[in-house]
Structure 1
Amino acid sequence: MNARIHALLPGLTLVILVLALSFHFLMTAFYLLPMNPLKLRFHAYAAYMQPFFRQTWTLFAPDPVSDTRLLLVACRLKLDDGTFAEMPYVDVTTPFRQAHYANRFGPADRVERLQSGAMRVIFQRDTLIDRLEEHRSNTSSDLNELLDYVHERDAAARQRGVATLNRVASDHCDQLYGSGRTVATQMRMVILEFPRFSQRHLPDDAGTLRHFDFPWAPYEAVDPLVRLSVQR
C-alpha cells in the first residue's frame, strides 16, 4: 500500500501544481483585463490578487507616467500662550524619495509608496466609467447598478486615501515641531505634468504646474512612521 502511494505521489503532486498554476494565471489574466461589465460584476477576484499579486500595469498599452506628484503639508500649532499659528507648507515626498535613492533597502520606499498610492487612489479616474455614464438610463438597469457600485467603491477608496494622508501629515508635523503641538493639518497636492513628446527637448520643469488644496483636518495622533536622518 505504501509503495503504491509513493508511486502515485509524484504524479499527484504534478497535477496539483499544474492546477494551482493554471488557477493563478487565469486569475492574473482576468485581473489585467480592461474594465468591462463582467469584471465589475465578479470583483471578488481582487481578494485573491491583493496584496501579494497586485500588478501596476495592464496587457493593453498602459499609459506612461506623464507627471510627478508631491505631497506638501502645513501644520497649525497651538503656541505656549494659547494662540494658534499656521506654519508654511513643507515637502513631505521628496525627502523620502531621496532617502530611498540613497538606500534602496531602507524603509523610505515603503513610506513613499504609502503616500503615492493614497494620492493615486484619490485622483485616479477610469475614462471607461465616464463613457459608460453616457449610457445610463432613467429606469433601473444592470448598467445603472454596476455604475452605482463602482462610484460607491471609488468614494470609499478615496475616503481611505484621504484618511491615510491625514495620518501621514499628522506624523510629519510631529517630526517637524514636536509631538502634541499640532491641532490641525492641511495637505496640498502638487502635480507637475511633463512636456508632451513633441516638446521632449524641454526640461521637466517647463511643464504645467498645478496644485490642489485639501481642507484643514484635525490632528490625529499616530505611531511614528519612519525616523529618517535626511536633509530637508
Structure 2
Amino acid sequence: MSQPSQKANSSRTGSRIAAVGAVCVLSLHFGLTFLHVAPANPLSQQLALATGLWMSPLFDQNWELFAPDPVSRDTGLLVRGTAGGDELGGFVDLSTAMLERKLHNLVPDNLHYTVSSATHNLLSARQDLIRNEAVLAEFPNAADSGLFLSEDLLDAGPEPLRTAYKRTVDAVVQLAIKGVRDETGVTPDAVQVRIVTHEFPRWSKRDDAGVGEVFYSDTPWLTATGEELPL
C-alpha cells in the first residue's frame, strides 16, 4: 500500500505546485495589467518597459465594446530604401496590402496587426517621451520634434521610455527592410519610414467622405540598427 500512497502524495504535491504557479502568474498578469491601464504614475513609468513587453501584442486593452469611441484617425506605414547609395524605387505601402490580405482571407493571419501595432507603438512611445516632465523641463518645444527624436532629447527622458522608444524604432526599421526587400528583391542598407495619419472630423461632419486632414511624418534615412544615416 506504500506505493499508491506515495503516488497519491506526489500527485497532490504536483497539483499544489501547479496551483501556486498559476496563482503567481495570474497575480503578475493582473498587476501588470493594472499598471498598464491605470493613469500615469511614478511606478507605471518606472515599469513601462516591463508592462509594454508583457501586454503587447497579446493583452492590449480595447474598451470600445463597452464605451464606444468613434474612430478619429487612421494611420498607414510607407517605407522606401536605398542600396549602395541608390534609391530602390518610391515608397512602398505596407499597411494597405496587409489590410487587404486580412479582409480577403478566410483564415487571416496577424501580419496586419504586426504592421499596425508597430506604427501605433512608435507613435505612443514618442508621445510618452515628448510629454515627460523631465524632457519638457529641458526641451519645452519637444512636441515640435519630428517622428525620429534626437539623441539629446532621448537622453533627457527616463531610461524605460528611451528603451521603449528605441525598441519601437527597431521594430519599424525591420518591417521597412523586409517590405523593401519583398518589393524589390534587394536588401536595403538604409530605409526611410513615413507614417500617414488621416484625421477624421466628428460624426456630425462626416457626410462628405472627402472631409478630413492628412498628415505625413517622415524619419530620416536610418540604418538597419536604427541609427540616422549621416548625410
TM-score by length of 1: 0.63
After the TM superposition, which residues 34-183 of structure 1 pair with which residues of structure 2 at under 5 Å, given as runs?
34-41=39-46, 46=51, 49-50=54-55, 54-57=59-62, 65-77=71-83, 84-85=86-87, 87-103=89-105, 105-107=107-109, 109=110, 111-124=111-124, 125-126=127-128, 129=131, 151-180=158-187, 182-183=188-189
In 2 relative to 1, CA 49–199 (structure 1 residues): closer, same or farther, beyond 3 Å?
same
CA distance in 2, matches of 1:126, 1:62: 24
In 2 relative to 1, CA 29–219 (structure 1 residues): closer, same or farther, beyond 3 Å?
closer
- Contact 2:35–2:51 (Cα < 8 Å) also in 1: no
User: How many angstroms does 1:99 deviate by?
Assistant: 0.6
User: How many angstroms does 1:20 deviate by?
Assistant: 5.5
The match for 1:193 is 199
In 2 relative to 1, CA 149–22 (structure 1 residues): closer, same or farther, beyond 3 Å?
farther
User: How many angstroms does 1:215 deviate by?
Assistant: 0.9
Of 192, 202, 213, which residue of structure 2 is paired with 1:208?
213
- Contact 1:33–1:58 (Cα < 8 Å) also in 2: no
CA distance in 1, matches of 2:61, 2:87: 41
Structure 2: gaps (5+ residues): 138-154, 226-231
Structure 1: gaps (5+ residues): 137-147, 221-232
| Worse overlay, 87-96 or 14-23 | 14-23
In 2 relative to 1, CA 150–32 (structure 1 residues): closer, same or farther, beyond 3 Å?
farther
CA distance in 2, matches of 1:178, 1:192: 30
In 2 relative to 1, CA 161–53 (structure 1 residues): closer, same or farther, beyond 3 Å?
closer
The match for 1:28 is 33
- Contact 1:32–1:58 (Cα < 8 Å) also in 2: no
- Contact 1:31–1:45 (Cα < 8 Å) also in 2: no
Q: What SS does the corresponding residue of 1:105 show, helix, strand or coil?
A: coil
The match for 1:184 is 190
In 2 relative to 1, CA 21–174 (structure 1 residues): closer, same or farther, beyond 3 Å?
closer
- Please tell me the residue identity of whatever aligns with 1:172: G
CA distance in 2, matches of 1:47, 1:164: 14
TM-score by length of 2: 0.63
The match for 1:224 is none
CA distance in 2, matches of 1:114, 1:91: 14
CA distance in 2, matches of 1:161, 1:128: 15
Q: Which protein shows a greater Rg?
A: 1
- Please tell me the residue identity of whatever aligns with 2:74: T
- Contact 1:73–1:188 (Cα < 8 Å) also in 2: yes
User: How many angstroms does 1:133 deviate by?
Assistant: 6.1
In 2 relative to 1, CA 201–151 (structure 1 residues): closer, same or farther, beyond 3 Å?
farther
- Contact 1:195–1:202 (Cα < 8 Å) also in 2: no
CA distance in 2, matches of 1:84, 1:52: 35
- Please tell me the residue identity of whatever aligns with 1:114: T
Count the aligned residue pairs.
Answer: 201
Identical columns (%): 23
